[in-house]
Structure 1
Amino acid sequence: MTDSSEPTLAAGSQATRELAVAEWLLVAAHNADEAVTDWRNTGLAVLECGGVFAALRIPALLVVAAARTSHPGDVAEYLAGALHGGPVIVSANGDQYYALVPPSTAKRKLPHGIECLTRSSLLFVPRPDLTDPNQHAHTSYWAVPMDGPGALCQPDAVLQVATVGRFRHTQQGGDQ
């Protein structure tokens, strides 16, 4: 007889993690009930940066150059490793990546082309379970989902990815 409890426990653990992450993210909503409704109806909620998290916006061309691939699954795998599992959102049209970082990141000097979204900046944040670009076409999704409440990217790791991407993009003859 096989033990069928393992998949149930794993699925339960993932659902528990996603619920905890959702509750933590909702702290950044102007109206949590409205955000939950938006997640349910569209998969996206508008959350304010600068309170519990900030977001570093990185052009996709830099992320793709750093990862040396444009395949979404391979880019996600690269980011998960390079950012030590820190959470990253891909924009609906795929032209921007948003690494969630501590709000204190706003005080840092950033390289050209990288912007820190802080207080009064709004971000479309996907429901924590939206992680597959093939299933969720035409909407933002998590390239790297949050491991848990408050589990953010290390700003230095994000900036290193952007710097490597800029170098590789320039070496390939891209704009500076």
Structure 2
Amino acid sequence: MPYRRDVFPGDIGWTTDTHALDAALVGLRVEGQRDHEVSVSGLGQRVLQRVTSEPYVPIHSLAVRDLETESWLLSALTGQGRDRARLEWQELGVTLLPLGMSFSVVRLPGALLRAAVKSDEPPTIGIRLAECLRGPVIHDPGFDRYYALVPTSSTPVRTAPGTHYLGSGTYLGVPRTDHAAMDMGPYDSYWSASMARPGALCTLATVFELALLGHVLPVDGDES
């Protein structure tokens, strides 16, 4: 299948040449983030994999969004902490980030969330989460838990039965920003719903409402 590359200025046409995409994406490297220079090789291939089912998605926009989101996610870390996290993303595909600073999360059992969106198909779940919550959600298939990223609250948070707000003092395994499909491995975390732009989070109210909706159907078990 050909892929559009007319998203690059002055470059109109189609290509399956990942080397050409790598070369075009070199310009996306952010000054001062040397590790991007190391990881740019092969980035074109990863972006192509993400748009296989969406051949008209602007490749340039996806890559820029991923880099900007990555920087925002790491903004609460020190320089050495950011270097470590980027290395872990590159080598492991996931890194531990502290909650309660840039963002916190609401943890939802998989069965509850699937009941709420009326689907057990990962692609459909991702689409419906994006529509309902309009914010990023991580899925950990190993433990079958979903984590909706929400703003950090300085006051006690009311959550729906079976869900838990996780903030300060907790760390979350956050997948690399381009891990946006359940195809990295059966137990690898991925972004079920990606962050539309840096800092665009779910609201506590919409997560609460979605979780309550999930209780309309039977749940296989709550988490305590």
Q: Aligned runs of 1:91-170 on 2, under 5 Å?
A: 91-93=140-142, 95-104=144-153, 107-169=156-218
Q: Aligned runs of 1:6-45 on 2, under 5 Å?
A: 6-8=6-8, 10-29=58-77, 31-45=81-95
3-state DSSP of counterpart to 1:107: coil
State yes or no: 1:59 paired with 2:93.
no
Structure 1: state its 5+ residue gaps: none
Q: Deviations over 1:13-57 (max 9, x none)?
A: 111110000000012446111100100001101000000100000
Query: 1:78: how far off?
Result: 1.2
Query: 1:112: how far off?
Result: 2.2
Bigger-Rg structure (1/2) = 2
**Percent sequence identity over matched residues?**
33
Q: 1:21 to 1:32 in 2, by over 3 A?
A: same
Number of matched residues? 169
The match for 2:35 is none
CA RMSD across the alignment: 1.9
- The separation in 2 between residues aligned to 1:73 and 1:5, in whole angstroms, is 25
Query: 1:8: how far off?
Result: 4.2
User: Comparing both structures, which one devotes a greater share of its residues to helix?
Assistant: 1
Q: Which runs of 4+ in 1 moved over 4 A?
A: none
The match for 1:88 is 137
User: In 2, are the aligned partners of 1:88 and 1:97 still within 8 Å (CA)?
Assistant: yes
The match for 2:42 is none
Residue identity matched to 1:18: D
3-state DSSP of counterpart to 2:74: helix
Query: 1:60: how far off?
Result: 0.5
Segment of structure 1 superposing worse, 119-128 or 9-18:
9-18
